[in-house]
Chain A
Amino acid sequence: MITYILRRLLLMVPTLLGITVVVFVVMAAAPGGISALSLVEGQNLEPQAKKALEDYYNRLYGLDQPAPVQFGRWLNNISPVGFAQDDTGALTGWPMFKTPDLGLSFRYGRPVTDLISERLPITLLLNVLSIPLIYVVAIAVGVRAATRRGQAFDTQAGVVLLGLWSIPTMLAGVLMIGFLASDQFWQWFPTGGLSRRAALDMPFLPQAEFWWTLPALLALGFLAASAFVVFSVRAGRSLRAGAGLLLGGWAGLAMAQDLDAVQSLAGLVLGGVAGAGIGALLGRSEWLALRIGLFGFAGMLIGFKTAGWLFSGGVASGFLLDRMWHLVLPVVCLSYGGLAFLAKLSRSAVLENLTADYARTARAKGVGERDVLWRHVFRNSLLPLITVSATLLPSLLAGSVIVEAIFSIEGMGKLAVEAVQTRDRELVLSITLISGLLTLAGYLLADLAYAIVDPRVSYD
């Protein structure tokens, strides 16, 4: 196993080198390319000052040298073994080890390492939150669709998932901001960023004036949520539909009332009827997980609303809650596409195993259908999901470019767009290197996880 990991790590080096070569060639071959002239251009300066600045950039980054030499210098800078340089760029010797240096960003004038260590955690936070969400929902939907192959749920889920997969992230993000964050419609979420300015000075956890306020809030929310969950599990179909009708209609009315543009009776009626219809439909549904989720969420909201109304004031939201509130829309936006893809994949994986011989054997010897599904079939269906997790990370990284641009989050994606737009050579190369490294590490991790889950696979 150790030798396998070592071999894979060594094989990463030529691939990473190739990636940076491709990106460097693109930059160097472009008309105008990377030169001190392109950096100085557009600044309103005297000719002498311009010349001086150009010389300064040339000396600092070695931009007047031929492209292969530039690339060689960059490689030397980032590698832990190589030539040492003095301030003028002349080679001074060959120490055994030196600290790898990603260089200075042209645009920010700061070390690239600093910039990336500021931005990378933000993008990783978004992705780390998205991945579990994607897997949980995708497996729930996929397994249910597979066990009901050819029935209404399966066909509907198929169309809806393909549709979700086809929605451009830009469209989803723009519509979410427009409808759920702007003051023209429902201002439930912030329009962008990761926290309010005020929240940066707040304590981490929420705080209240009296010690009992927060526990009481939590208790009330929890009580209401569990009451609703119990109701959604125990109550009969028509009773649930009635409750759904009431809740949905109420939500629809409340939403229609929030619109100052449509303060007419027609808007209210439409909102109420639409909400009631959807609520009744969802309440009637036979899907337990969906019902528990929906009713639990509604109960929690009602509990918190009541609590907020009972002991109003004196509660500061704190840093954590504020951050979570800011993250809702970006994470949803980032995850729905991968979710649709993964749900389709898990459906076909489960379906393939449900008809396998071992599943029939298990049924024949009297194992219950639930155990066949979760103890036998599901475990074997996990394999393709693990393989795909490797390709999920690159697509999430690409998705965060768009999501960060829409929600103005200062992460790696936004940094990447800025870097290529300002032709910031060091930054572009470093971002390429790091995202390539993350991608390759993802592939390696997926392969290792595969070996752990499937005892038939061994790498020795």
Chain B
Amino acid sequence: MTEQPRSPSWSRRILGEVLLRWGARLGLAWIALLTLVAVFAPLLANTHPLLVEDAEGWHSPMLTHLTPADTALLGAFFLALVLLFSPGAPLWRFLSWLGGLALIGALSLVLVSPPALVVYEQYREAEARGEYQRVVRAPIPYSAKDYLRDYADTGLESPRSSAERLHWFGTDENGADVLSRMIHATRIALSIGFIATGIALVIGVILGGLMGYFSGIVDIIGMRLVEIFEAIPTLFLLLTFVAFFGRSLYLMMLIIGLTSWSGYARYVRAEFLRLRQQDFVQGAIASGLSLPSILFRHMLPNGMAPILVAASFGVASAILAEATLSFLGLGLVDDPSWGQMLNQAVQSSTFNWWMAAFPGGAIFLTVFAYNLIGEALRDAVDPHSQSGRSAPPVKAAA
């Protein structure tokens, strides 16, 4: 074998190959767009005007009605932007982002207190009375929970049907703007995907790592546990969890994470069983490193590739799981979510296509985007596809 010239680092090459594929590029673009929409949701769809000039001068009802979640998201986003263009090691920057995130979250919880009672009609009525000299409204001047009570009969309007109120995607049965609800629901969809997969990854990596590293009796017991969690239909376990523990977003994330770790544990176990025989691991053991150091600093980075592939498919299935639960009427009660909107489309006696097509289309596009990214990652990671002769074997299960 001849000496190869030094190639760019492995992770850089993977990244380059992923970005080369147009599918992954489109998928990433869609996720980026959703992230922007989720962060700037109060600026995009809000009944509270962005700026108002009345007898007291300029003021912004939008700012005073921001919730702690809104400010925390905005803060985290701008912190991420700043850190992205600042020097330093990626790990250090990521850690400082996490620290900043915790700080911003705590600060917004303490400092930001929007008024408890929200009267959405006041602005429209004040404007009709001519109290405002100038008003700057959001592009979609309806909040997610603004049921337009000041108008008579606004439920289930088809898109762009009424002359005086413009609803791009129509209204739902309560009279709320569908597009506005969808914009505010992007937060749930994105966060549930990331956090649930994160939880599942942590459990799966720790259990799978221990199983693969120790093998023997630990492996046998662990594999029984994995088998148990694989033999219960995940959806059924989820249903049981949610029905018995009540409905909350955080609980739902936790539960989806708790029920979907078994696949990751399998992958990590297989990787670690292979790695533990290799010289560098034996060397690490011989030099007396601690167990966490061997597992997570030496073995894990070398076994990360198949886990990453599984994780990006996992995000897609977590989003699907949330949508399914909401669709079956076990989701969040008042907060908008895409699955719950799809459920509303079934509940009404007539078929209103805009209630099904738009939220359902959003779920589809997001899941499709994650699957495209996962597919591209797998092709990039897989040594078979790089040789260019044989096919990439399909590894992920449905």
Contacts and interface: CB of A to CB of B under 8 A. Distances in A.
B243 to A, nearest CB: 4
Contact of A166 (B234, B346, B371, B397): B371
Main secondary structure of the interface of B (DSSP, over half): helix
B360 A435 contact: no
Contact of A171 (B224, B342, B350): B342
Nearest to A34: B244
A174 B345 contact: yes
B324 A170 contact: yes
B337 to A, nearest CB: 12
Nearest to A162: B371
A176 B397 CA distance: 26
20 contacts: A15-B228, A15-B231, A18-B228, A30-B245, A162-B372, A166-B316, A170-B339, A175-B356, A175-B360, A178-B351, A345-B394, A348-B391, A348-B394, A349-B393, A352-B393, A391-B398, A402-B235, A423-B243, A432-B232, A440-B231
A178 to B, nearest CB: 4
Nearest to A442: B231
A391 B398 CA distance: 8
Contact of A391 (B244, B351, B397): B397
Contacts of B375: 162
Given A168-B324, A174-B346, A184-B351, A23 B240 contact: yes
Interface in A412-460: 416-417, 420-421, 423, 428, 431-432, 435-436, 439-440
The 4 residue pairs across chains A and B that have the minimum distance between CB atoms = A171-B360, A30-B244, A351-B391, A178-B351
Nearest to A392: B398
Interface string A173-210: 01101110010110000000000000000000000000
A159 B391 contact: no
Interface in B222-273: 224-225, 227-237, 239-241, 243-246
Contacts of B389: 355
Contacts of B230: 394
Given A175-B356, A401-B233, 8 more contacts: A18-B225, A19-B232, A22-B228, A174-B360, A177-B346, A182-B351, A355-B389, A398-B236
Nearest to B225: A18
A27 interface: yes
B239 A416 contact: yes
Interface string A25-64: 0110011110000000000000000000000000000000
Contact of B233 (A14, A184, A397, A421): A397
Interface of B: 23, 224-225, 227-237, 239-241, 243-246, 316, 320, 323-324, 327-328, 330, 339, 342-343, 345-346, 350-351, 353, 356-357, 360-361, 363-364, 367-368, 371-372, 375, 389-394, 397-398
Given A398-B236, A420-B239, A170 B391 contact: no
Given A18-B224, A341-B398, A432 B236 contact: yes
Nearest to B227: A15
Contact of A395 (B237, B364, B398): B398
B338 to A, nearest CB: 9
Contacts of A349: 393
A22 B351 contact: no
A391 B227 CA distance: 12
Interface string A319-356: 00000000000000000011001001101110110010
Given A166-B367, A171-B356, A352-B390, A401 B323 contact: no
A397 B392 CA distance: 29
A398 B372 contact: no
Contacts of B232: 19, 22-23, 432, 435-436
B357 A26 contact: no
A405 interface: yes
A395 B372 CA distance: 21
A213 B185 CA distance: 57
Contacts of B240: 23, 26-27, 420, 428
